[in-house]
Amino acid sequence: MANLETLKPFQKGHKKLGGRKKGVPNKNSHSLSKLFIAAADRLGSDGRGTGGHVGYFASVLKNEPRLAVRLWVAILDHEQKHPPKDLAQRELIRILQSAKLDQHDKRFLQRIWEKVTGTQLSLFF
C-alpha cells in the first residue's frame, strides 16, 4: 500500500511515460470487431449462415429491436468519439455518387477535395 506522505499530486505537462505511442490503434478492439463479424457471418439470419453478417444483423433488428437500437447507439457513440481517418473521403464519395448531383457539381467537389488534400480522388462517374 502506498505511503500517503510520499504521494505527489498530478502535475500537468509532465512527460508521457509508458503506454502506447500517440496514434497507435488499439489492437484488441480491432481484433474483437473482426471476431464479432466472423461470428455473425457464421450465424447469419437462421443460425446456419444465411445472409452472412448482414443477415444476422437483419434478424437482430427484426427479432430484437430494442437490442438492435442499443447496439446502433453504441456504434454511433463509438464512431463519434473515434471517427475513421477516411470518414471525410468516404462521405464525399457518397455525395459524389449521389444521383442528385449533376456532372458539373461532381467535378467541382472533386477539384475542391484535390486542392484541400493534395490527393487525387479517383471516381468513375
* pLDDT band, residue 10 (cuts 50/70/90): low
**CB-CB contact of 110 with 121 (8 Å):** yes
Q: Same domain for 61 and 76?
A: yes
Q: What's the total number of domains in the chain?
A: 2
Q: Same domain for 96 and 76?
A: no
**pLDDT above 60 (res 14):** yes
Q: Same domain for 70 and 97?
A: no
Average pLDDT over residues 22-35: 72
Residue 70 counted as domain residue? yes
Q: Same domain for 77 and 44?
A: yes
Q: pLDDT for 48-92, tens place per residue? A: 999 888 888 888 888 998 888 888 888 778 777 776 666 666 777
Residue 21 counted as domain residue? no
**pLDDT above 70 (res 39):** yes
Domain span holding position 35: 28-81
Give the pLDDT of residue 125. 46
Q: Tell me how far the alpha carbon of residue 24 is from its chain's centroid.
A: 15
Residue 32 counted as domain residue? yes
* pLDDT band, residue 32 (cuts 50/70/90): confident
**CB-CB contact of 95 with 112 (8 Å):** no
Q: Same domain for 77 and 92?
A: no
Give dist(CA 101, CA 122) in Å, integer.
17
Residue 96 counted as domain residue? yes
The C-alpha cell of 15 is what?
512527460
**pLDDT above 80 (res 35):** yes
Residue 69 counted as domain residue? yes
Give the pLDDT of residue 42. 92
pTM: 0.45
First to last CA, the chain: 66
**CB-CB contact of 92 with 121 (8 Å):** yes
Write b or e for each residue in 35-69: b if 16 or more Cβ atoms lie within 10 A of its Cβ, otherwise e.
eeeeebeebbbeeeeebebebbbebbeeeeeeebe
* pLDDT band, residue 109 (cuts 50/70/90): confident
